[in-house]
Amino acid sequence: MAITKTDFMRGMQCPKMLWLDKHKPGLRVIPPEVQARLDAGNDFGDRAMSMFGPYEEMTVYLPGRRIPDKKAMLARTAEHLAKGTPILCEAAFSNYNNYCAVDILRKVPDGYELYEVKNAPEVQEQFVRDAAFQYYIAVRCGVKIPRVFLVLHGPDEENPFLPVEITKDAKGLYRWINDHIWDLNRLQKEPQELPVPPGDQCCKPYECWYYGYCHGAEGTP
Q: pLDDT of 3-40, one tens digit each?
A: 999 999 999 999 999 999 999 999 999 989 989 999 99
Rounded to the nearest angstrom, the gap between the alpha carbon of residue 62 and the centroid of all alpha carbons in its chain is 20
Q: Using 50, 70 and 90 to split pLDDT, how confident is the model at 1?
A: low
Alpha carbons 135 and 1: distance in angstroms, whole number: 21
Alpha carbons 36 and 204: distance in angstroms, whole number: 19
Alpha carbons 60 and 68: distance in angstroms, whole number: 6
Q: Using 50, 70 and 90 to split pLDDT, how confident is the model at 220?
A: very low
**Into how many domains does the chain fold?**
1
| 49 in Cβ contact with 89 (< 8 Å) | yes
**Structural domain containing residue 179:** 5-217
Alpha carbons 80 and 58: distance in angstroms, whole number: 9
Residue 41 scores a pLDDT above 90: yes
**Comparing C-alpha atoms, which of 106, 86, 181 is closest to residue 136?**
181
| Segments of 32-86 assigned E as strands | 56-57
Q: What is the pLDDT of residue 65?
A: 86
Q: What element of type H or E holds 189?
A: none
Tell me the pLDDT tens digit for each residue of 92-146: 999 999 999 999 999 999 999 999 999 999 999 999 999 999 999 999 999 999 9
**Comparing C-alpha atoms, which of 36, 46, 29 is closest to residue 160?**
46
Give the CATH number, domain containing residue 80.
3.90.320
Residue 221 scores a pLDDT above 70: no
Alpha carbons 96 and 100: distance in angstroms, whole number: 12
